[in-house]
Chain A
Amino acid sequence: MVRAVGRHRGALLVFGVAALVPVFVRDAYFLDSLVLILLWGALSAAWNVAGGYAGQVSIGHAAFFGIGAYSAALMGTRFHQSPWLGMLVGVALSLVAGAAIGYLSNRLRGPYFALSTIAFSQVLLIVASRWRAFTSGSEGIPVPFRPGFATLGLSHVAWVYMALAVAVLYWAIQVWLEHSRFGYRLAGVREDEDAAQALGIPARRLKVIAVTASAALTSVCGTLWAQYVGFVDPFYVFSVDLSVRFALNAIIGGMGTALGPFLGSILITSLETYLRATLSGVKSGFTGIYLIVYGVVLILVVRFFPDGLAGLADRLRARRARAQA
């Protein structure tokens, strides 16, 4: 037990700080940002299950996010049910969609798979924005805020703990992946699929399972997001930008590590918010500057730290080991 804690000092620190923040800080903006960091982190962790651990890099995870968001919104506004029920519906739908994507992943490699996931998410976008009778089309769905746990109408502080619970759960799932037999076999598939199959590992099935699970986890967060922000807009929830964001945090933090997505989320969300807050008040002509910086930073980080922060950690550790030798 002590050893386990020692192994996960980083996670303890991050989640511990997150848990303590609402005790000392009452500033709603800070809390709001913390909720977003944890949510984006959890979404990246969900993506990581497919992308980092199974090696199936998708840029279309917004498809599942949108499914979760729409399920909550529609259940709440059209059928007058609790968003928790919406969450279940979203998960069910995402399992199906995830299985479909998983099937695709067995036929396609690398960039082809990535492109096919984009196509899938865009198809869902178009359907959502055109099916006016059911989804209110392009106008989106405002999600009413009704206080209470059953309706996921929580205070800022409660949202922090809700998001934290999900984040810790997703982190734990990833840790389990690292230690379980399923995870080992998945890692084998990721590193060299042909070799793994030669060893008798049912690579195709494992990949489908990973992608399907990833889809369901993403969908849950989509539901939470919809209840938190209060407005589901098809052009946003199914957007490629959002899909890229999920992948990005995991990559920056370290794909295939449990804490990576969260650290990536802390960095990217903070950077983005900091830049936007500092630079957008400037003369309106220069507002795009923060996004230029963002794009350049992205290029640099991906180029020089492709293994993310985990790679950095390895380098530090290697240097320390050399120093001791």
Chain B
Amino acid sequence: MRRRISLTIAVAVVVLACTAWLTAATWGQALSGEYKIGVLEPLTGPLAGEGKRHLEGFEVVRDLINERGGVMGKRLSFVVADVPDPTAAASEANRLITRENVKIITGTFSSRLCGAASEAAARHNVIYWETSCVDPRFNKRGLKNVYRTEIDATGFGWYNIDFIVKHLAPRFNLKPNELKIAFISEDSSYGQGVTESAVARAKEVGLQVVGPVEYYNFQTINDMTPIIVKLKQLNPDVVHHIAYTNDAPLFWRQAREQNFLFKALVHAGATGYGGSDFGKAMGNDGNGVFALLEPGPGFKLESLKPDGQKIEKDFRDAIQKRTGSYPLGAHQLAGGGLWLLKVVLDRAQSDDPEKFRSAVMGLDLPVGTMINGWGVKFSETGQNSNERVQHYMLQWQNGQLVTVWPEEFTTNRAKWIPLGPWDQRK
């Protein structure tokens, strides 16, 4: 029995669709005195938690910028779009560009999304200002108007291994080639990217990498026992673990149960051990874990340059007011990136891609001048450099992530080096 769609139905559907398209999203009308940029973040789906925090960071800094006169003499405002997957990222980028007439797009935070979003922006010759994704290939596609304010995965690996070699190894009384390091990681693009870079760098500096990298899918991991059992046999000194969010407390709890002893655990980034959820989950039991992040409590404002002190303090106060806590990694990456955008726009006084680019390339500010104590110097490919995007090692102490390294930036010092027995880290 052949079924057919009647013409009526077809017409109805097409008309309905057209209406939807025409009314979807307001046609962008910038109020006079307002400068609009596009913000893409995943606000639904598995990345929603972090995406929301990035947006918060953007909003707080936007308000700070507007208190200081906005950008190019106008008030900065956002058009926000939810981008849970790559198709949406490309699609929404298109929408913001063509319907909302934005000339600058920022956001995405995740390596899954930044590739597609920036491709879409590039095809329209719109400036793409990435604040957080770490895919190392992001800047290697030959796209001229694509910039990234945060270091990429190789930078994370760089800092972590640096910390281990310069700060931890001496305190363990171990030379680098005597130090055994094991790697565990969640298996998304973030985990893979950072971990592989760290492994490469570890081998470069001569650390003893024991065992293959233990990867797992953070969405389906139920039990870390096989990993812990394997690692116990390998007996590493340092465990390098890149976690997402639910896996960090799981590993830590089970490692404690099974009495897996090691001298230090190092992570990088605002998720997992670097997120507030770990502290809430573990309390004091989480003491001792290191996470590479933006500055946390204990950070000495005085260690920054005067401009940097002012804006960093205002930023922290604003986040405190809005969320009741010290800025989280997500806030800092987004906020820091947006502030840097303002610095560029102040210099360029234009969103014309050519003028923007020369302003970006012309910037050369030392560490300590901006939010998070960052400096700025972009490479030809639009990547802010490792040396200027100062990162810090934080440690969980008494339920809080505090800044412990580099020591000139903070009043706190790292404790529990090496980590003693599980019940003795108070």
Contacts and interface: CB of A to CB of B under 8 A. Distances in A.
A142 B141 contact: yes
Contacts of A7: 4
Nearest to A34: B21
16 contacts: A138-B187, A140-B115, A144-B142, A145-B122, A228-B90, A233-B86, A233-B112, A233-B115, A236-B86, A257-B4, A263-B9, A273-B91, A276-B92, A284-B52, A284-B80, A316-B9
Interface in B74-88: 79-82, 85-88
Given A9-B10, A310-B4, 10 more contacts: A7-B4, A14-B13, A29-B95, A32-B98, A230-B115, A254-B5, A257-B3, A259-B4, A280-B80, A290-B44
A134 to B, nearest CB: 14
The 7 closest A-B pairs by CB, nearest first: A10-B10, A280-B82, A230-B119, A287-B43, A231-B115, A29-B98, A231-B116
B24 interface: yes
Interface residues of A, number: 69
B10 A33 contact: no
B5 A144 contact: no
Interface string A11-41: 1011001000000000111101100110000
A267 interface: yes
A78 to B, nearest CB: 13
B8 A270 contact: no
A192 interface: no
B31 interface: no
Contacts of A126: 217
Interface of chain A, helix or strand or loop or mixed? helix
B348 interface: no
A13 B82 CA distance: 33
Interface centre among A11, A137, A311, A312 (most CB of B within 10 A): A137
B115 A142 contact: yes
Interface residues of B, number: 64
Interface of chain B, helix or strand or loop or mixed? helix
A236 B43 CA distance: 17
A32 B141 contact: no
A277 interface: yes
Contacts of B4: 7, 10, 257, 259, 310, 313
A230 B122 CA distance: 11
B123 A313 contact: no
A142 B79 CA distance: 26
Contact of B86 (A28, A129, A229, A256): A229
A139 B80 contact: no
B412 interface: no
B246 interface: no
B3 A231 contact: no
Contacts of A235: 112, 188
Contact of B112 (A236, A260, A271, A317): A236
B222 to A, nearest CB: 16
Contacts of A312: 9
Contacts of A178: 2
B55 A284 contact: yes
A10 B5 contact: yes
Given A36-B87, A231-B86, A314 B3 contact: yes
Interface centre among A277, A278, A317 (most CB of B within 10 A): A277
Interface centre among A145, A276, A317 (most CB of B within 10 A): A276
A274 interface: yes
B284 interface: no
A291 interface: yes
Contacts of B79: 281
A315 to B, nearest CB: 10
A277 to B, nearest CB: 4
